[in-house]
Structure 1
């Protein structure tokens, strides 16, 4: 009997954010839906997330996406998203990476030109449009979650910073949206550590003061995200560009601008009457990578008017590997992991 087991990975990145796609080595999870399987991982098998995001296997700046069989017959596959803050029900960059990995691994057969398929996230079904040129996945467009503004231009006193004006959007998670210029930032790479420290203080202050409730999901926990907004530049008619940076609590500045961060920006621009259906916003990261968000319309969900949107980006495959999980290693905690590893004893 050996304590060595393996997990199959395909590492990818979109906009610089690395998503580790788990393609094998995990037993089928209990749950009638992908959402229920996510809740099982969160409550009874969090060891997989911690293994791949902590030393010696990973770093908190990465994300993990576990491929699972879809429970809805309309979907080609399901996926569960894991990040340093926990288990978001949706993520644009992770969806772009997962869709690319499924195409590159052949789980979803690749077709030249445009092809469409559906994935099942914990948030529900997600429509995917893939553009394949000469056998290469050049772009993935995915639906953003219905997004809306929960709070507009509130003010909070943040220790060490002073009064900060912020808005809060929901776009798959609650985002504090702050003006980078008002806080003295140009959103360049050399500011990364200061951006993280500033965002940490703001998020801690907001969490200490209040919580947020989604109109159908209810209490979804403390505010996890902050998005720094640079000035919006009109590039051409209906196309805008803005430097941006997304922070994930605690302590992570994303390499990309994030899909949900871009969706949050579209919700704010709509709230302020600055965009119309069909308009697009390119968010540009500290590393000069970008996603393009398109505002496609609005709809009413109960008493809440929500923004419909799409996010487009490109993912790259970094490697395919077997990760050896040695439960005898003192740096590896298999307590909440061993029972979901294939061939676990």
Structure 2
């Protein structure tokens, strides 16, 4: 008899970034916290991430979020983020999508107006405010991770590009921040492939030259991300807008501007004295979608001025599906799945 593995999933998107929310069919994972469960998936059960981001089920531009039980009683649900580059401890777009899915699934009761609840990410507790109108989740506001500037306006020589000026922020991962115009870009959709190629060259050059260390997390690996910044337009006294594009992996520019990219940009604007608490920045993607980051305050962490912020966006449900994995399919690798899929969800045996 052929062997099939079955689990449940809800596809969503925020700003164009598709997040695949795995809602059922996965065994309880070892680990006392969501962070420890993430480590188990990363180190011992990476098959789920690979399955849903590789052919024939997915593409690298997608993300995966696995719902898990929280370890903190304050949280309604835990979630583990999986992307093509691995397991980030936090993501704004994935959090917006997960919070929406949690409401749509009834794991948190959906109520009209504004409501608050808490999720547990690998980075810790995340406080959510949802706006529901006529039964529709119109907006999710989530906390961005505390962000800070590690490096301000350094220069590096990049083959075929010349000398490139960049800053580095931490906002859930280390980001190189570059002015798009200085590299000849207007941040339009037809530039997407060239943006990815350019970003890859810059990131490779930075990785070869230096590493980065977080003030509490220590070494979190090579700098992975780059955020292209367009000119800042002041729309109102406390509201700004800027075109943006975020590179996350060779060949991959996020369809949204990303929540962590927006948080990084807020940290840079604060460092340059361009914003004050209560100011908001809307980052606009190549696809004309946007997230709104709000600068809520600062605090000192050693030598760093850390920016506190929130990210607001809207997620849309694309599909609810039962995913059937046929282990006889030569394009499918089941070895990393057997030990995490609930035994009651095996079929065809």
Q: Please state which band the TM-score falls in when normalised by the shorter chain.
A: over 0.9
Tell me by how many angstroms 1:305 deviates: 2.0
Tell me by how many angstroms 1:85 deviates: 0.6
- Could you tell me which residue of structure 2 aligns to residue 11 of structure 1? 11
Measure the CA separation in 2 of the matches of 1:114 and 1:189. 34
- Could you tell me which residue of structure 1 aligns to residue 211 of structure 2? 211
Equivalent residue runs for 1:273-288 within 5 Å: 273-288=273-288
Tell me by how many angstroms 1:7 deviates: 1.6
Tell me by how many angstroms 1:149 deviates: 0.2
The alignment of Structure 1 onto Structure 2 pairs a total of residues equal to: 345
Equivalent residue runs for 1:190-205 within 5 Å: 190-205=190-205
Question: For 1:339, what is the secondary structure of its paired residue?
Answer: coil
Question: For 2:339, what is the secondary structure of its paired residue?
Answer: helix
Tell me by how many angstroms 1:301 deviates: 2.6
- Could you tell me which residue of structure 1 aligns to residue 154 of structure 2? 154
Instruction: Assess if the C-alpha contact under 8 Å between 1:203 and 1:249 holds in 2.
Output: no
- Could you tell me which residue of structure 1 aligns to residue 318 of structure 2? 318
Tell me by how many angstroms 1:281 deviates: 0.3
Measure the CA separation in 1 of the matches of 2:250 and 2:7. 27
Q: Which runs of 5+ in 1 are unaligned?
A: none
Measure the CA separation in 2 of the matches of 1:102 and 1:131. 14
Deviations 1:31-73 (A, max 9, x none): 0000000000000011110000000000000000000011100
Instruction: Assess if the C-alpha contact under 8 Å between 1:203 and 1:226 holds in 2.
Output: yes
Measure the CA separation in 1 of the matches of 2:326 and 2:214. 41
Is 1:30 equivalent to 2:46 in the alignment?
no
Measure the CA separation in 2 of the matches of 1:266 and 1:171. 10
Tell me by how many angstroms 1:250 deviates: 2.3
Measure the CA separation in 2 of the matches of 1:303 and 1:122. 25
- Could you tell me which residue of structure 1 aligns to residue 40 of structure 2? 40
Instruction: Assess if the C-alpha contact under 8 Å between 2:149 and 2:304 holds in 1.
Output: no
Measure the CA separation in 2 of the matches of 1:143 and 1:17. 18
- Could you tell me which residue of structure 2 aligns to residue 294 of structure 1? 294
Tell me by how many angstroms 1:2 deviates: 4.4
- Could you tell me which residue of structure 2 aligns to residue 264 of structure 1? 264
Instruction: Assess if the C-alpha contact under 8 Å between 1:85 and 1:250 holds in 2.
Output: no
Tell me by how many angstroms 1:337 deviates: 1.7
Deviations 1:212-256 (A, max 9, x none): 100010110111110000000001101000000000022210000
Tell me by how many angstroms 1:160 deviates: 1.2
Measure the CA separation in 1 of the matches of 2:203 and 2:95. 25
- Could you tell me which residue of structure 1 aligns to residue 245 of structure 2? 245
Measure the CA separation in 2 of the matches of 1:147 and 1:340. 34
Measure the CA separation in 1 of the matches of 2:251 and 2:28. 32
After TM superposition, the score normalised by the length of structure 2 is 0.97
Q: Which of structure 1's runs of 4+ aligned residues deviate more than 3 A? A: none
- Could you tell me which residue of structure 2 aligns to residue 305 of structure 1? 305
Measure the CA separation in 1 of the matches of 2:240 and 2:302. 31
- Could you tell me which residue of structure 2 aligns to residue 66 of structure 1? 66
Question: For 2:9, what is the secondary structure of its paired residue?
Answer: strand
Deviations 1:121-165 (A, max 9, x none): 000000000000000000000000000000000111111111100
Once structures 1 and 2 are overlaid, which stretch shifts more, 43-52 or 2-11?
2-11
Measure the CA separation in 2 of the matches of 1:323 and 1:240. 42
